[in-house]
Amino acid sequence: MKQLFIFIYLLFLATAMQAKDAKAFLLTKNEAVTLYCHKNEALVVQTALNLFRQDYVKVLAASPRTESLKKARIVVGTIDNPEIAAWAAEQGICLDRLQGKHEGFLLKVLGVGNKYRLAVLGSDKRGTAYGLMTLVRMMGVSPWQWWADCEPTPREVFQLEADFERLEVPSVAYRGIFINDEDWGLNPWSSNNYEPKMRQRNGEDSTPRNGEIGPYTHERIFELLLRLRANIFWPAMHECTVPFYLIKGNKEVADKYGILISTSHCEPMMRNTNGEWRKAGLGDYNFVTNAKQVVHFWEERVKELSGSDCLYTLGMRGVHDSAMEGAKTIPEQVKVLTDVLKVQRDLLARHVNAQVDKVPQQFIPYKEVLDCYHSGLQVPDDVTLIWCDDNYGYIRHFPTEQERTRKGGHGMYYHASYWGRPHDYLWLATTPPELIHAEMQRAYRHGVDKVWVLNVGDIKPAEYLISLFVDMAWEGSRFGKDKLGAYMARWYEEQLGMEGKELLPLWKTYYDLSFKLRPEFLGGTRTEEKDPKYKLVSDVPMNEKEITERLSQCREMIDAMNRLEKRVPQSRLDAWFQLVKYPLSAMAAMNEKMLGAQLARHRLANWDKPLEAFNRIVTLTEKYNALKDGKWEGIMSWQPRNLPVFAPVKEEYVDAPLTARTNGKLVF
């Protein structure tokens, strides 16, 4: 009797599950789902659709087929297409929630009985593309599948309930990244490794081209941004890198992925002044004495880009990160900038849109330009003001109530990587997520919702912080502090295929220790100081007890990491190394190297551990660059800018006692 009861119960359960499946949008392995997308949809939509097709093969082992609007199981379209609007009305879909929204999308299951379909509708071209990218992410495809080598796991089935609906609209209009200080990572990797390999694969000249971050690299970057639902990009602009628009194919691939190109504070009118002005041979970059040539320089680029999506930077500074020439005092600079803004907007009106207030524009009051702004410089009301942090994660200025009335709104340029005084942090991404969240949420509450740009260095190893920043920009105030832990757990689970929450204690140690003293700061040196004493490695103000406790925390973190590594799926071990093992191990080794040497200098420890720690950092970095048969060769350096902190420790003793500091303060 008991066995009969169990049999009946299992039969009932199976029937219930079948009934549930029958009332759902269901995709199964080896099923070639049918798609409809109008042939006249924008290029970025077609790009997203191709990515969806590729991902579908990886996840469900079949190639989607094109079908008519009436028969297709997945319908993709932008609601300004009359055909899509009419079809949506027939299906009873109310488009009011999408109408007029910026980059919004709707995913909605439709149907009666067992004939279920899925609508992927966008308020505009990017909204439609983001709808598709959200769908593939729901299917298990990470935006980082290529950049972090976390290929999706094949599935037997993908299902959405009959009443499934997902409507999303981004909170920040323009969300993206700035590639910067690329000299030791993205530049050598791209110019010496990835670009030559891709040219060879496509039957082109594979000779390395010094400093070229070309269209193959940018295609990978822009695919990542599209998958992350980011839309703006500031290209690399150091002198070692060939300017973005001087490389054939870069502009076209940005258009393909729907990416708006913009530029930093010293690159007005889409010109990489540092890389292009001297080559142009137009004399001094001086608006006071050489305005005709300067305006010609700007106008050439504006005419070239008149049909592309851009966010134009207005204003003028020096050729690179320096004050403008020809105007020494603040009042003189205000006068010159006033004239510059008028000329630049006239160029945009003539070559881009006669209604110049319809052209996306930004003004970045950075360094001496901020003094000009505070001294009365009038920036046109439709221009977005971009504010900055202090290079270390603390925002300097939040819009006042009067500033918040500006039509152009406000944006933020924030650092997750930095080159400069008093010290760089170009090696490991160590800015605490809690700090980024607190500062950017405060900015959002003060009306900074037009542009968010993150300085990400070389992209790697800042993968997590990039995702966090872009997703916070998308969610806005909905991304509360209470979501940080769950978000981190989900993110690592998505990339690694394991329980993400088990990693949280490790990252807490990593960020807590780095917040107190970043690994790049452990040499007690400073950069770009005239006094040579700042180039000499010296003790950081920590006593023996503090050093011992800190090194103990590092060891505990690494021990826990090694235990967790045994649970990582074999297919995700490369991702594990890039996203977890390298940053944690390198940070711990740098602490052991520099703080161990500090103890040894005072005869409180032996030299063997700090010497071995240096070798460990080098070995870890060599392994990183050798991953995936050399795919990442050149991307990671253990000594960016060759600063003293990265060198092998010197076995030297000092007679002065180690600090006995007990007040808890650590001043850098």
Structure-block tokens of residue 6: 């169990």
Outline which parts of the chain fall under CATH 3.20.20.520.
174-479
pLDDT tens profile 43-89: 999 999 999 999 999 999 999 999 999 999 999 999 999 999 999 99
Q: What is the structure's pLDDT at 7?
A: 45
pLDDT for 94 beyond 80: yes
Q: What is the structure's pLDDT at 487?
A: 98
pLDDT tens profile 449-478: 999 999 999 999 999 999 999 999 999 999
Q: What is the structure's pLDDT at 2?
A: 47
Neighbouring C-alpha atoms within 13 Å toward the C-beta of 6: 3
Q: What is the structure's pLDDT at 661?
A: 65
Reference 213, options 233, 232, 240; nearest CA is 240
pLDDT > 70: percent of the chain: 95
Distance, CA of 297 to CA of 286 (rounded, Å): 12
The pTM for the full model equals 0.95
Mean pLDDT for 639-663 is 89
DSSP codes, 162-215: TT-EEEE--SSSEEEEEE--GGGTHHHHIIIIIHHHHHHHTTS-----TT---H
Mean pLDDT for 86-106 is 97
Residue 210: burial class (beta carbons within 10 Å; 0-12, 13-18, 19+): exposed
Banded model confidence at residue 8, pLDDT cuts 50, 70, 90 = very low
Residue 1: burial class (beta carbons within 10 Å; 0-12, 13-18, 19+): exposed
Task: For residue 164, give the amino acid letter.
Answer: F
pLDDT > 90: percent of the chain: 92
Give yes or no for a contact between 34 and 73, defined as CB atoms under 8 angstroms apart: yes
Q: Determine the number of helices (DSSP H) and then strands (DSSP E) in the chain.
A: 20, 16
As a whole number, the mean pLDDT across the chain is 95
Mean pLDDT for 653-660 is 88
pLDDT for 666 beyond 60: no
Mean pLDDT for 9-38 is 71
CA distances from 449 to 105, 152, 175, 395, 664 (A): 19, 33, 10, 15, 38
Give yes or no for a contact between 561 and 614, defined as CB atoms under 8 angstroms apart: no
Neighbouring C-alpha atoms within 13 Å toward the C-beta of 418: 23
Banded model confidence at residue 5, pLDDT cuts 50, 70, 90 = very low
Cis bond upstream, residue 422 (ω within 30)? yes
pLDDT tens profile 108-145: 999 876 689 999 999 999 999 999 999 999 999 999 99
Give yes or no for a contact between 68 and 151, defined as CB atoms under 8 angstroms apart: no
Banded model confidence at residue 660, pLDDT cuts 50, 70, 90 = confident
Neighbouring C-alpha atoms within 13 Å toward the C-beta of 233: 29
Banded model confidence at residue 442, pLDDT cuts 50, 70, 90 = very high
The CATH number of the structural domain formed by 174-479 is 3.20.20.520
Structure-block tokens of residue 490: 């989900």
Banded model confidence at residue 662, pLDDT cuts 50, 70, 90 = low
Q: What is the structure's pLDDT at 6?
A: 44
Structure-block tokens of residue 608: 């063997």
pLDDT for 20 beyond 50: no
Residue 40: burial class (beta carbons within 10 Å; 0-12, 13-18, 19+): exposed
Range of lowest pLDDT (112-126, 418-432, 497-511): 112-126
pLDDT tens profile 225-261: 999 999 999 999 999 999 999 999 999 999 999 999 9
Give yes or no for a contact between 213 and 241, defined as CB atoms under 8 angstroms apart: yes
Mean pLDDT for 92-113 is 94
* Helix segments in 316-432, DSSP class H: 330-351, 368-374
Outline which parts of the chain fall under CATH 3.30.379.10.
25-168
Banded model confidence at residue 321, pLDDT cuts 50, 70, 90 = confident
Banded model confidence at residue 366, pLDDT cuts 50, 70, 90 = confident
- Those residues whose C-beta lies under 8 Å from the C-beta of residue 548, and which sit 6 or more positions away, are none
Topology at the third CATH level for domain 505-646: Methane Monooxygenase Hydroxylase; Chain G, domain 1 (1.20.58)
Q: What is the structure's pLDDT at 113?
A: 65
Q: What is the structure's pLDDT at 16?
A: 39
Banded model confidence at residue 23, pLDDT cuts 50, 70, 90 = low
Q: What is the structure's pLDDT at 322?
A: 84
Q: What is the structure's pLDDT at 3?
A: 52
Please state which architecture CATH assigns to domain 25-168.
Answer: 2-Layer Sandwich (3.30)
Outline which parts of the chain fall under CATH 1.20.58.2150.
505-646
Angle at 49 between CA 45 and CA 51, to 5 degrees: 120
What is the three-state SS of 266-309? CCHHHCCHHHHHHHHCCCCCCCCCCHHHHHHHHHHHHHHCCCCC
Q: What is the structure's pLDDT at 28?
A: 97
CA torsion through residues 130, 136, 140, 145, sign:
negative
Q: What is the structure's pLDDT at 320?
A: 80
pLDDT for 665 beyond 60: no
Extract the runs of DSSP E, i.e. beta strands, from 132-173: 157-161, 165-168
Higher pLDDT, 620 or 306: 620
Mean pLDDT for 262-276 is 95
pLDDT tens profile 600-635: 999 999 999 999 999 999 999 999 999 999 999 999
Distance, CA of 165 to CA of 25 (rounded, Å): 12
Higher pLDDT, 430 or 8: 430
Banded model confidence at residue 664, pLDDT cuts 50, 70, 90 = low
